[in-house]
A and B are shown apart, each in its own frame.
Chain A
Amino acid sequence: MPRLLKLHTYLVLAFLYLPIAVIVALSFNQSRFGVRWTGFTWQWYLRLFHHHRVAVYAENTLIVAVASTLIATVLGTLLALGLYRYSFRLKGAIRFLIYVPVVIPDIVMGVALLLFFAWVRVHTGWLRLSLTTIVLGHVTFQIAYVALVVRSRLAGLDPALEEAAQDLGAGSYATFRHVTLPLILPGVLAGALLAFTLSLDDFVITFFTAGPGSTTLPLYIFGSVKRGVTPEIHALSSILIAATTVGLVLGRALLRRR
């Protein structure tokens, strides 16, 4: 039985990671169109780095990821702290509402945001579809992830530590700055990295909230599929996979740190 279980594990891992391995392998393949291996080459990566247009799309992607992560990390952490520290009416409801952006289908969220932005635009003239609306869209789902990660860190926090700080004369800000924040920092950073990787490869919500001049890498990759995926795109995907993996590994490491 354990041997069967082992086999099953390998099969699941293969199922999950083989497609990714194929993409990475093809990004080093000399053949431009075929799926047959004709030789190893770096040329697609080199071409990619000289592709001015792709650089613009990468820049857009990074601007969105950095800006939305900064905003969502601050808001998400504050949300988690508020839920941890205070009790108020509707607290249960809010705790439940945090999960909604996590479980709601992206497409529903995307359409809802699109309609909302259109409504605001009609009434105020603000929020033309652009990088700004993409950032707002990403923040809406990132807050939830950050808050959940920070909350799990707070749950393991010993309340005696904060009480001791206050007994020793620290005000509420000093307690937060010197005791609470350092203790939850790994959780905050892990939440931020998770939010960053989610923003980096988000397609659906970006698709609905993007305007002129705000094409991101995932949008560009999707657009290329119909015209034939070139090895440059495989190279680009491999880089995105690498960036996401590094982000996740770092996040895990931070979360484990005591």
Chain B
Amino acid sequence: MKRTLISLLAVLAGLSLARGELRLFNWADYIPEEVVAEFERRYQARVIIDTFEAPEAMLAKLQAGGDAEYDVVVPPDYYVLEMARTGLIRSLDPAKLPNLKNLAPEFKDPAYDPQNRHSIPYQWGTTGIAYDAQAVTRPVDSWGVFFDPKRYAGPCFLLDEMRETIGAALKYLGYSLNDTDPGHLAEAKKVLLGAKKRCLGFAGGVEARSRLLSGDAAVVHAYSGDIVQIQGEAPQVRYRVPKEGGTIWTDAVAITRRAPHPELAYAFLNFILEPRIAAAISNYNSYATPVAAALPYLDPALKDNPAVFPPKAVRQKLEYIHDIGDAIRLYDRIWTELKSR
């Protein structure tokens, strides 16, 4: 028994002593195995991946000392500046990232991180409306399917995400989804209360998708990637950004300030900006890639899909969710009332 213990301890010690190691903190199932294997082969390194299920959990782990344990993290766009300000992630040296040139122009200077000073974009997508083309009773082109009784197109689900759902109501009313005007928010609350009565309730992205697939719902507020993934299996399911516009999100990749292996971390960031690698990541996730040079290697089902790469006219109506500071309390209050009524 003693010997078993000693060998177990040796295994534990060995784990932490391995050289050429990159520690990646990522969403679960967000990077294809072959991409990781290729990186390990090329850089003679071992990649350790730990996963988080919510950005809040990621942030908490980093604040509890994880910023000195992990090399690379994958925060959502609206966390990047805050994490840079609190010193969790470092400023990037563009000289070490020659593949930045592969990025599409609109991702070379994104609103959430000007000039990619602290992060590079990983994947992006939109939020809009998913619907079953055979089940809806009238065309779906506006947030009105949720918020206007006259445009009701069938059983619906609202998204169980505060900023997304209140943002959709603001968009429907013609405001910015980062609006903090109490009057505008009161209007949004009114249409949301109406929508809640008409719809079947709130659902997370994946649950909403299952409800659509099982026929419980005809229209749901959804993330583009979740829907594109299933279109091969369920061609009757469509996705579109409403004419009033929707949310655009980007997941970013950053290096922690106290990263134990910063050189390998730079190599990794540069690696995922390579055209073939970026394409492999997108093909796996069914999300859009910010790497323009990757387009030739994308699956046609992705490249030519307006749900993945919306046309220019739609792109101009997309907005990032910003950190709105203390005004978030107004949102919180509306959200609580909405969910409890």
Q: Does A230 contact B (CB under 8 A)?
A: yes
A169 to chain B, nearest CB (A): 29
Q: Once the chains bind, are A33 and B64 in contact (CB under 8 Å)?
A: no
A residues 199-225 near B (Cβ < 8 Å) are 210-215, 219-220, 222-225
Q: Once the chains bind, are B53 and A34 in contact (CB under 8 Å)?
A: no
B residues 171-196 near A (Cβ < 8 Å) are none
A53 to B49, CA, bound (A): 8
Q: Mark B1-24, 1 if CB is under 8 A from A, else 0.
A: 100110010011001100000010
B residues 219-266 near A (Cβ < 8 Å) are 226, 229-230, 233-234
Interface size on A, residues (CB 8 A): 41
Q: Does B305 contact A (CB under 8 A)?
A: no
Q: Does A152 contact B (CB under 8 A)?
A: no
Q: Which of B4, B28, B64, B214 sits near A227, CB closer than 8 Å?
A: B28
Q: Are A228 and B33 also in contact (CB < 8 A) when A33-B213, A34-B213, A213-B15 are?
A: no
Q: Does A118 contact B (CB under 8 A)?
A: yes
A71 to B5, CA, bound (A): 9
Q: Which of B12, B214, B229, B233 sits near A228, CB closer than 8 Å?
A: B229
Residues of A within 8 A of B233 (CB): 31-34
Q: Once the chains bind, are B29 and A226 in contact (CB under 8 Å)?
A: no
Closest chain B residue to A215, Cβ basis? B50
Q: Does A25 contact B (CB under 8 A)?
A: no
Q: Once the chains bind, are B23 and A213 in contact (CB under 8 Å)?
A: yes
Q: Which of A67, A70, A211, A229 sits near B206, CB closer than 8 Å?
A: A229
Q: Once the chains bind, are B27 and A212 in contact (CB under 8 Å)?
A: no
A51 to B29, CA, bound (A): 11
Q: Does A244 contact B (CB under 8 A)?
A: no
Q: Once the chains bind, are B48 and A212 in contact (CB under 8 Å)?
A: yes
Q: Does B43 contact A (CB under 8 A)?
A: no
B residues 25-51 near A (Cβ < 8 Å) are 25, 27-30, 33, 36-37, 48-51
Q: Does B209 contact A (CB under 8 A)?
A: yes
Closest chain B residue to A51, Cβ basis? B33
A143 to B228, CA, bound (A): 49
Q: Once the chains bind, are B8 and A66 in contact (CB under 8 Å)?
A: yes
Interface size on B, residues (CB 8 A): 41
Q: Once the chains bind, are A220 and B51 in contact (CB under 8 Å)?
A: yes
Q: Does A63 contact B (CB under 8 A)?
A: yes
B residues 53-107 near A (Cβ < 8 Å) are 53-54, 64-66, 69-70
A86 to B176, CA, bound (A): 74
Q: Once the chains bind, are B53 and A223 in contact (CB under 8 Å)?
A: yes
Q: Does A35 contact B (CB under 8 A)?
A: yes
A173 to B15, CA, bound (A): 39
Q: Which of B25, B37, B226 sits near A52, CB closer than 8 Å?
A: B37
Q: Once the chains bind, are B23 and A212 in contact (CB under 8 Å)?
A: yes
A132 to B52, CA, bound (A): 20
Residues of B within 8 A of A131 (CB): 12, 15
Q: Does A41 contact B (CB under 8 A)?
A: no
Residues of B within 8 A of A224 (CB): 28-29, 51, 53
A28 to B37, CA, bound (A): 28
B268 to chain A, nearest CB (A): 15
Residues of B within 8 A of A63 (CB): 8, 11-12
Q: Does A3 contact B (CB under 8 A)?
A: no
Residues of A within 8 A of B15 (CB): 130-131, 213
Q: Which of B48, B206, B234 sits near A34, CB closer than 8 Å?
A: B234
Q: Which of A35, A118, A121, A130 sits near B12, CB closer than 8 Å?
A: A130
Q: Which of B37, B70, B205, B213 sits near A35, CB closer than 8 Å?
A: B213
Closest chain B residue to A226, Cβ basis? B53
Q: Does B210 contact A (CB under 8 A)?
A: yes
Residues of A within 8 A of B69 (CB): 128-129, 211-212
Q: Once the chains bind, are B33 and A226 in contact (CB under 8 Å)?
A: no
Residues of B within 8 A of A219 (CB): 51
Residues of B within 8 A of A132 (CB): 12
Q: Does A89 contact B (CB under 8 A)?
A: no
> What 18 additional pairs, Cβ within 8 angstroms, besides A63-B12, A227-B27?
A33-B233, A35-B214, A56-B48, A70-B4, A71-B5, A129-B65, A211-B69, A212-B23, A212-B48, A212-B50, A212-B66, A213-B48, A223-B27, A223-B53, A224-B51, A225-B53, A227-B30, A228-B229
Q: Residues of B at under 8 Å CB distance from A? A: 1, 4-5, 8, 11-12, 15-16, 23, 25, 27-30, 33, 36-37, 48-54, 64-66, 69-70, 204-206, 209-210, 213-214, 226, 229-230, 233-234
Q: List 6 A-B contacts (CB under 8 A).
A: A51-B33, A52-B33, A132-B12, A214-B50, A226-B54, A228-B205
- Closest 9 CB pairs between A and B? A223-B28, A223-B51, A212-B69, A224-B28, A228-B206, A33-B230, A213-B48, A223-B53, A34-B213
